[in-house]
Chain A
């Protein structure tokens, strides 16, 4: 079974530029999560999707961050414009709705903003 796929793995951009991250969850997983992981810290949830609906985006900085999950499968997380403090690893995870709904993570995208 294929795991969660993310691309790109690494991204370096200048501040104020836009950037987008892509995630393909495990087949059949209805729930998709985006987490932010700063260096030396545990991941923190940005947004959770149930199918194509964003059911928890309370931690997403909506002034510059946006996300979508068209057709309830792949998802894209966007930052526009990027700031220096956005440098971090962006992790995507997915889970099924069937208990015990373990979250499985992708390899992440390491963003560096210069």
Chain B
């Protein structure tokens, strides 16, 4: 079965600093990888995905993610974090037609 792991429960950064949220994956075959963000009392919002092609994927709200096959990683990045980026972030891999999610990483951006 396909799976992802998010090794950090929490990430804390100062506003204006770079933000990285880590994700590693375990798949058989080619991975289809996704990042979602969840704000309090809201559903999951799609940020970006990697299907094939360029290893650097650009998404919504200034986020990007780097696919690294040799390290089996798909880390989410933002060059300059905003306080409004504080939320719960999920990495996911498509396993057949369902998504298998990581446990989530809580990001706190302090002013």
Alpha-carbon distance between A6 and B99 when the two chains are bound, in angstroms: 20
- A: interface residue count bin: 20 to 34
A8 to chain B, nearest CB (A): 13
A31 to B96 Cα, complex, angstroms? 13
A56 touches B98 (CB 8 A): yes
Contact code string A1-36 (vs B, CB < 8 Å = 1, else 0): 000101000000000000000000000000101000
Are the CB atoms of A102 and B49 closer together than 8 Å?
yes
Interface size on B, as a range, is 20 to 34
**Interface 0/1 of A52-92, CB less than 8 Å to B:** 00011000000000000000000000000000000000010
Q: Is the CB of B97 within 8 A of A105?
A: no
12 residue pairs bridging A and B, Cβ less than 8 Å apart: A31-B97, A42-B90, A43-B90, A43-B99, A44-B101, A48-B97, A91-B44, A100-B51, A103-B46, A104-B46, A107-B42, A107-B43
